[in-house]
Structure 1
């Protein structure tokens, strides 16, 4: 009897308590540091689509000043990390606010995520159908960038491209094959083989003289990747400035691993691109 009374008393208390209501996900806004826009784009060049996430500055005004625009490859994982962290970089590092664009596949399953093809530059032994870097870059220049610049107040003269690991190879391919498209590029722990053959020689001519490329290498990354990055930097740094359309900076990330230190790579790269110095200078 005492147990039944306890149960009834508990039900009485619940009946008198305020009830929480759950909203549908569509009714819940993104966290303030990530608020902006999201849309789907179907690429005619690639024959498949991408989820595009856009983080807007807190003071963004569609009729106001144009902002730098940062394009993040592998947006499925890097957009929520780096786009939100950019807010703190404006607070504590005085970096300019920016519109951040994450290019996402919508998943990590190989049936959806084709980064192994999209970020692969041509090289000896790589089948042409597997070397998709040029096609992916055409998607960027002919399809995505016009949409972003048509919808948001961004400055086309202050575009930046960020890529991690294999996406870092695409960043360097872009620098060599299409130097003028992005003012700044950050290749974080790039994985360059196969594909090194097409990014070590013959950069396309550039019209601009303010282009910069940053490569970051984590001290705890697997040994072959920092060696590849150093080879790329040494090869291009040793050439006449007339044959090299960009300034180059190699930045070591103390204690950095391959992927977990992407915010450190982003911070170091952005500081050098915009302020001309890197942590530790």
Structure 2
């Protein structure tokens, strides 16, 4: 019996170093790097630092430059867009650059998005736990997005200034609508996924009415085309209801130049809508006109 325990102890002593070595090797192994991508941190003029992710085609840029799709919440969403964009290179059609706009963190989401994507503190009970977070910085962020960042991407890659698109989900979708209302010609196409219109509903609806009035008065010389997507299993059902109502309200504005399309993804909840929306977004953003 003594010999048996000695042999067992010896075997365990040999096994533990092997396990430890395997664990160490796993922890020091290099991470996966996505092909045809780049990443860099950029300090905005307002002092904020953003992590910028870029996915670019192998092919030479077309005449006039690549179309560009800017994806908000880049930490969470860039990888899905980048790999799908790379696979779509095998199909005929326009090649595009995808730019993920995120934050210097390994987390999927950063609390700074509340400030960047909203115009004021929330007035919704559903978001009450976020009411104390800094908010209201969406115009400052929009200046960075359409100014410094667009200039920097144009410096690094040959891009088409007339074919720039924007994708935002949830609060990012709210920001996308704000962009449409306040700078309707800043992007060729805007995609709003499950937009959180009820974050500060009164403010957002006022912006919508003001935009509609200007469009009908003929004072908007250029306007983005718009795609609105939601899931039929949105956990906060208002995100679906508000999006459906919004699309109905904007339908008459097609007579004044606003081209709007919408889609409800069967079986998708709030957090899975962006992944389902990737192919539709890429096609909508690169199609011309």
Q: TM-score, normalised by structure 1?
A: 0.77
Structure 1 position 213 matched with structure 2 position 222: no
Q: Which runs of 5+ in 1 are unaligned?
A: 12-20, 277-281
Query: 1:192·1:225 contact (CA, 8 Å) conserved in 2?
Result: yes
Matched, 1:76 2:85: no
In structure 2, relative to structure 1, the CA distance for the partners of 1:124 and 1:265 (3 Å cut) is closer
**Structure 1 residue aligned with 2:135:** 130
Pick the aligned partner of 1:232 from 237, 243, 246: 246
Deviations 1:39-85 (A, max 9, x none): 1111123x31101111111x244898721111010001101111111
Partner SS for 1:199 = helix
Name 1:168's counterpart in structure 2.
173
Deviation at 1:183, TM superposition (A): 0.2
- Change in Cα spacing, 1:176 to 1:267, as seen in structure 2 (3 Å) is same
Within the candidate set 164, 174, 186, 1:181 is matched to: 186
Question: After the TM superposition, which residues 60-209 of structure 1 pair with which residues of structure 2 at under 5 Å, given as runs?
Answer: 60-61=59-60, 66-91=65-90, 94-107=92-105, 108=107, 113-121=111-119, 130-193=135-198, 194=200, 195-202=204-211, 205-208=219-222
Q: Which of the two has greater helix per residue?
A: 2
Output one character per residue of 1:115-163: Cα deviation in whole Å (capped at 9) or x when no partner: 1121113599699x73221111011122111111111111111111001
Q: Relative to 1, partners in 2 of residues 1:263 and 1:167: Cα closer, same or farther, differing over 3 Å?
A: same
Contact 2:94 2:287 in 1 (8 A): no
Q: Which moved more, 1:83-92 or 1:143-152?
A: 83-92
The counterpart of 1:30, out of the listed 28, 33, 46, is: 33
User: SS at the partner of 2:119?
Assistant: coil
- Is 1:254 the counterpart of 2:279? The answer is no
| CA-atom RMSD in angstroms | 3.7
- Number of residue pairs the alignment of both structures matches: 259
Query: What is residue 50 of structure 1 aligned with on the other side?
Result: 50
- Equivalent-residue separation in structure 2 for 1:186 and 1:219 (angstroms): 18
Which residue in the other structure is 2:41 paired with? 40
Whole-angstrom CA distance in 1 between matches of 2:159 and 2:6 = 66
CA gap of 1:95–1:260, structure 2 versus 1, over 3 A, is farther
Contact 1:186 1:266 in 2 (8 A): no
Instruction: Quote how far apart the aligned CAs of 1:90 are.
Output: 3.6
Shift in Å at residue 234 of structure 1?
Answer: 1.8
Unaligned runs of 5+ in 2: 15-24, 125-130
